[in-house]
Homo-oligomer: A and B are copies of this chain.
Amino acid sequence: MEELVGLREGSSGSPVSLRELWGPYPRVRRGIRGGLEWLKQKLFRVGEDWYFLMTLGVLMALISYTMNFTIGRVVRAHKWLYREIGDSHLLRYLSWTVYPVALVSFSSGFSQSITPFSGGSGIPELKTILSGVVLEDYLDVKNFGAKVAGLTCTLATGSTIFLGKVGPFVHLSVMIAAYLGRVHTKATGESENKNKQNEMLVAAAAVGVATVFAAPFSGVLFSIEVMSSHFSVWDYWRGFFAATCGAFMFRLLAVFNSEQETITSLYKTSFRVDVPFDLPEIFFFVALGAICGILSCAYLFCQRTFLGFVKTNRVISKLLATSKPLYSALAALVLASITYPPGVGRFLASRLSMKEHLDSLFDNHSWALMTRNSSPPWPEELDPQNLWFEWYHPRFTIFGTLAFFLVMKFWMLILATTIPIPAGYFMPIFIFGAAIGRLIGEALALAFPEGIVAGGVTNPIMPGGYALAGAAAFSGAVTHTISTALLAFELTGQIVHALPVLMAVLAANAVAQSCQPSFYDGTIIVKKLPYLPWIRGRKISSQRVIVGHFMNCTITTLAKDTPLEEVARVVTSTDLAKYFLVESTESQILVGTVGRAHLMQALQAEPPSWAPGHRRLRDLLAGGCPTEPVTLQLSPETSLHQAHNLFELLKLQSLPVTSLGRAVGSVSWVELKKAISNLTNPPAPK
């Protein structure tokens, strides 16, 4: 009997049938079962989070793929309609324009009617959230449907409206992560934890980028660069895991759907591998980077100015406030009319989809050299084998069309960003950069038709490489990131231009970062979202600024011996969320904080018969009004850098400052911002 009991325990509580006991090799089997049990425990222990991250990746991949699939169908229907409608110019024009106008106004109306948060890219808001600010409802799952439906419509307009999907996907991914986190919390009964939530959101942002581009490396790095100023290696690993799951699933679906034979990159290129570029071309790549940087500054400036203009102009702002769909429809009409292929669109390669834009710009032949002696006619129909014919015009040549494309898309893009629909702004910028690079690359190919290093085997210049560098540099400069270089390699599946592209991106960033805030920071500024600026320059002098110089000294403290009348007066006359609680009016020793809501509640619960001056705050606290301990405090000698680091890393909103235990001030984002701006622009002496 004892042995049986032992056995039962050994097999971890499951009843042991006699057959099992008498089967061959009971010991071996027990051992195996124990091993499996151990493995199960081990996996489950590591598990939890990993399962969660995998689910997130797979879900986002499914959404991304389904959306692409739907969009593909809608676009195909539009193309069919446009092709079959006959030769009447009016009908063709209508079929070209009505479609996007209808889609955009539906997208705008539908998403805005459900929630105002679904518009735009979402990355600026997420950046704010990840820095510790609570934006109510922004991650609510009810935004989800609005964003998905709206984004699908936006993307279905194709290259007419010319918008992308990265930003909204990051938003969607973070929404799902927040939702899954809440489900998880409810299921396990654990209390909510802000740190853990934040970790999830960071990983989710990486998943969002990775499932759009099927690029796990740059997904993680791009989301880090855009979202935060500090990151932990732990988060980075989790991001990689989730992003890999997402990217793998996304590409797997393409294989299952017979679009691809195996898992490959999205915009496969076929650049020459042996000598992808001659050494002196490095200079041109760096110059291209600098040009992209300068153009990005112009773009950022115009974009921010126009966004401000839209907000302040009476007519437009009224239109936007009262009927967003109308504004969207008007803007879409303008954009669609310009891209009408038999009209101006002829010079904008507007029959190409956005994917085809990139595919054609990354083409490894030089169009300028190919059309030097022969001029192909403009094909009536799109030729899928020779997409680049779309860029060619017998009279203006490809230089004319590329330059025209750049000039027109510059303001069209800015116009498109003001339409209140869910849309990403990264992809158009990436394509714009590719066109800049292509233009310069073609010019170089024409200038040096035999390649730059003469003698022996000549290596003609590949303008596609410049397009790649231009795309990475311009998008990197606009978003102030470097990982776009890596993105360019992951998207094309070739890394032969590693150094020149990286150098172009660095040059572009050097120019852009010293002149303009990034696209996302600019939006944060225009939208007046709270943000904590960087300490730029890192000059030695900035190391000497200490908290005592800039803290807010006028703080409201409540002492334990404050009479209740006084407490009531303070609570009603100020609207802080929290008050510093000090030991006594005299000592001012900081004890903790007490929430205004709790105080109000406790005050209201007091019996109305108390004699004035009799009861004190101490009695209220003893009666159950909760206080919070101070876990971290600055002292007036803490340096600005240290305080800034603390706020950024620990996602803080404000901290008390104590000296010898006495509460002497507080520091919040407001004071930090002021101190940082004083570093670069010292205040005028009074």
Pair A233/B233 contact, Cβ less than 8 Å: no
Pair B534/A234 contact, Cβ less than 8 Å: yes
Of the residues B490, B510, B534, contact of A495 by C-beta under 8 Å = B490
Is A498 interfacial (CB 8 A cutoff)?
yes
Provide the A631-673 mask, 1 if CB < 8 A to any CB of B, else 0: 1111111110110011001100000001011100000000000
Q: Which residues of B contact A662 (CB under 8 A)?
A: 661
- How far is it, in angstroms, between the C-alpha of A510 and the C-alpha of B495 when the chains are bound? 27
Taking the closest CB of chain B, its distance from the CB of A161, in whole angstroms, is 31
Interface size class of A (residues with CB under 8 A): 35 or more
Most buried by B among A46, A273, A631, A636: A631
Is A247 interfacial (CB 8 A cutoff)?
yes
Of the residues B495, B538, B646, contact of A493 by C-beta under 8 Å = B495
Give A237's nearest chain B residue, CB to CB.
Answer: B482
Give A228's nearest chain B residue, CB to CB.
Answer: B233
Q: Which residues of B contact A631 (CB under 8 A)?
A: 634-635, 637-639, 642
Give the copy number. Answer: 2
Pair B224/A229 contact, Cβ less than 8 Å: no
Query: In chain A, residues 241-275, which have Cβ atoms closer than 8 Å to a Cβ of chain B?
Result: 241, 244, 247-248, 251-252, 255, 261-265, 270, 273-275
Is A503 interfacial (CB 8 A cutoff)?
yes
Provide the A575-598 mask, 1 if CB < 8 A to any CB of B, else 0: 000000001000001110000000
Q: Which residues of B contact A658 (CB under 8 A)?
A: 661
Give A49's nearest chain B residue, CB to CB.
Answer: B538
Is A681 interfacial (CB 8 A cutoff)?
no
Is A282 interfacial (CB 8 A cutoff)?
yes
Give A498's nearest chain B residue, CB to CB.
Answer: B490
Pair A244/B635 contact, Cβ less than 8 Å: no
Pair B629/A502 contact, Cβ less than 8 Å: no
- How far is it, in angstroms, between the C-alpha of A514 and the C-alpha of B236 when the chains are bound? 17
Is A466 interfacial (CB 8 A cutoff)?
no
Is A619 interfacial (CB 8 A cutoff)?
no
- How far is it, in angstroms, between the C-alpha of A276 and the C-alpha of B260 when the chains are bound? 12
Q: Which residues of B contact A660 (CB under 8 A)?
A: 583, 589-591, 661
Q: Which of A189-197, A308-316, A334-342, A423-431 contacts B (4 or more CB under 8 A)?
A: A189-197
Q: Which residues of B contact A199 (CB under 8 A)?
A: 538
Is A279 interfacial (CB 8 A cutoff)?
yes
Is A364 interfacial (CB 8 A cutoff)?
no
Provide the A526-540 mask, 1 if CB < 8 A to any CB of B, else 0: 000000001001101
- How far is it, in angstroms, between the C-alpha of A252 and the C-alpha of B278 when the chains are bound? 11
Provide the A457-493 mask, 1 if CB < 8 A to any CB of B, else 0: 0010000000000000000000000100110011001
- How far is it, in angstroms, between the C-alpha of A678 and the C-alpha of B255 when the chains are bound? 48
- How far is it, in angstroms, between the C-alpha of A543 and the C-alpha of B192 when the chains are bound? 11
Give A514's nearest chain B residue, CB to CB.
Answer: B46
Q: Which residues of B contact A237 (CB under 8 A)?
A: 482, 509
Query: In chain A, residues 503-523, which have Cβ atoms closer than 8 Å to a Cβ of chain B?
Result: 503, 506, 509-510, 514
Of the residues B262, B265, B540, contact of A498 by C-beta under 8 Å = B265
Q: Which residues of B contact A637 (CB under 8 A)?
A: 629-631
Taking the closest CB of chain B, its distance from the CB of A405, in whole angstroms, is 29
Pair B217/A502 contact, Cβ less than 8 Å: yes
Pair A196/B540 contact, Cβ less than 8 Å: yes
- How far is it, in angstroms, between the C-alpha of A662 and the C-alpha of B632 when the chains are bound? 14
Q: Which residues of B contact A459 (CB under 8 A)?
A: 262
Pair A650/B642 contact, Cβ less than 8 Å: yes
Pair B230/A506 contact, Cβ less than 8 Å: no
Is A552 interfacial (CB 8 A cutoff)?
no
Taking the closest CB of chain B, its distance from the CB of A244, in whole angstroms, is 5
Q: Which residues of B contact A46 (CB under 8 A)?
A: 510, 514
Give A503's nearest chain B residue, CB to CB.
Answer: B244
- How far is it, in angstroms, between the C-alpha of A374 and the C-alpha of B537 when the chains are bound? 66
Q: Which residues of B contact A230 (CB under 8 A)?
A: 230-233, 649
Q: Which residues of B contact A224 (CB under 8 A)?
A: 233
Query: In chain A, residues 405-463, which have Cβ atoms closer than 8 Å to a Cβ of chain B?
Result: 459
Q: Which residues of B contact A96 (CB under 8 A)?
A: none
Question: Given known contacts A498-B265, A637-B629, is B244 in contact with A234 (CB within 8 Å)?
Answer: no
Of the residues B42, B244, B498, B499, contact of A502 by C-beta under 8 Å = B244
Is A109 interfacial (CB 8 A cutoff)?
no
Is A115 interfacial (CB 8 A cutoff)?
no
Give A541's nearest chain B residue, CB to CB.
Answer: B190
Pair A231/B229 contact, Cβ less than 8 Å: no
Taking the closest CB of chain B, its distance from the CB of A374, in whole angstroms, is 30
Most buried by B among A255, A265, A459, A635: A635
Q: Which residues of B contact A274 (CB under 8 A)?
A: 261
Is A353 interfacial (CB 8 A cutoff)?
no
Q: Which residues of B contact A217 (CB under 8 A)?
A: 485-486, 498, 502
Is A494 interfacial (CB 8 A cutoff)?
yes
Q: Which residues of B contact A229 (CB under 8 A)?
A: 232-234
Is A225 interfacial (CB 8 A cutoff)?
yes
Taking the closest CB of chain B, its distance from the CB of A522, in whole angstroms, is 18
Is A298 interfacial (CB 8 A cutoff)?
no
Q: Which residues of B contact A495 (CB under 8 A)?
A: 265, 489-490, 493-495
Is A550 interfacial (CB 8 A cutoff)?
no
Is A327 interfacial (CB 8 A cutoff)?
no
Taking the closest CB of chain B, its distance from the CB of A634, in whole angstroms, is 7
Is A99 interfacial (CB 8 A cutoff)?
no
Taking the closest CB of chain B, its distance from the CB of A190, in whole angstroms, is 5
Pair A493/B196 contact, Cβ less than 8 Å: no
Question: Given known contacts A589-B660, A661-B658, is B193 in contact with A540 (CB within 8 Å)?
Answer: yes
B-contacting residues of A (Cβ < 8 Å)?
Answer: 42, 45-46, 49, 190-191, 193, 195-196, 199, 216-217, 224-225, 228-234, 236-237, 240-241, 244, 247-248, 251-252, 255, 261-265, 270, 273-279, 282, 459, 482, 485-486, 489-490, 493-496, 498-500, 502-503, 506, 509-510, 514, 534, 537-538, 540, 543, 583, 589-591, 629-639, 641-642, 645-646, 649-650, 658, 660-662
Q: List 21 A-B contacts (CB under 8 A).
A: A46-B510, A46-B514, A49-B538, A196-B543, A217-B498, A217-B502, A225-B233, A230-B230, A230-B233, A240-B506, A241-B506, A244-B499, A262-B277, A262-B279, A486-B486, A490-B498, A493-B495, A493-B498, A632-B635, A632-B638, A645-B650
